[in-house]
Chain A
Amino acid sequence: MEKLFEKLANKIITKEDLILILEEIEIAKNLLFQKPEILLSEKLKNKVSESFKKEIENLEKEEKYISLEKFSEFFDNFKEFLLKIPIVKLEIAFEPRESFILEINEWFKKNLGKKVILDLFVNPKIVGGAKIEYQGKWKDYSLSKKIEKIYE
Chain B
Amino acid sequence: MDEKGILIYLLLIFWGLLGILILKKSFEKERDLKISQKLEVFIEDAVKKETQKIFQEIQKRILDEFLKQQKEEIDVIHRKVLEILDQQKKQLSDFYQKLEEKRESFESAIKKETEDFIYSLLKEKETISKKIEQIHKILETEKDEIAKEMKIKGENLIEKFEEKISQLLNSLFEEIKLKISEKEEEIENYKKRKIAEIEKGIYQMIIEIAKKTIGKSIDISTHEKLVMEALEKAKKEKFF
A residues engaging B (CB < 8 A)? 90, 92-94, 96-97, 100, 103-104, 107, 111-112, 124-125, 127-130, 132, 134, 137, 139, 141-144, 147-148, 151
Alpha-carbon gap, A111 to B206, bound state (A): 38
In the complex, 30 of the A-B residue pairs with CB atoms within 8 angstroms, ordered by the A residue number, are A92-B227, A93-B218, A94-B218, A94-B220, A96-B224, A103-B224, A104-B228, A104-B231, A107-B228, A107-B231, A111-B231, A112-B240, A127-B211, A127-B214, A128-B226, A129-B226, A130-B230, A130-B231, A132-B230, A132-B231, A139-B237, A141-B234, A142-B230, A143-B211, A143-B214, A143-B215, A143-B226, A147-B210, A147-B211, A151-B206
**For A93, A100, A141, A142, which residue has the most chain B Cβ atoms within 10 angstroms?**
A141
Instruction: Collect the chain B residues with CB atoms within 8 Å of residue A100's CB.
Output: 224, 227
Q: Is the CB of A141 within 8 A of B211?
A: no
Alpha-carbon gap, A124 to B223, bound state (A): 11
Instruction: Collect the chain B residues with CB atoms within 8 Å of residue A128's CB.
Output: 214-215, 218, 222-223, 226
Asked if B133 is an interface residue, CB under 8 A from chain A, the answer is no
Alpha-carbon gap, A51 to B72, bound state (A): 157
Contact of A127 among B203, B215, B231, B235 (CB under 8 A): B215
Q: Is the CB of A111 within 8 A of B240?
A: yes
A24 → chain B closest CB, angstroms: 30
Instruction: Collect the chain A residues with CB atoms within 8 Å of residue B206's CB.
Output: 151
Which residue on A lies nearest to B206, using beta carbons?
Answer: A151
Instruction: Collect the chain B residues with CB atoms within 8 Å of residue A139's CB.
Output: 234, 237, 239
B residues engaging A (CB < 8 A)? 203, 206-207, 210-211, 214-215, 218, 220, 222-224, 226-231, 233-235, 237, 239-240
Q: Is the CB of B220 within 8 A of A125?
A: no
Instruction: Collect the chain A residues with CB atoms within 8 Å of residue B224's CB.
Output: 96, 100, 103
A33 → chain B closest CB, angstroms: 42
A2 → chain B closest CB, angstroms: 23
Q: Is the CB of A148 within 8 A of B234?
A: no
Alpha-carbon gap, A11 to B125, bound state (A): 134
B211 → chain A closest CB, angstroms: 5
Alpha-carbon gap, A144 to B234, bound state (A): 17
Which residue on B lies nearest to A130, using beta carbons?
Answer: B230
B52 → chain A closest CB, angstroms: 152
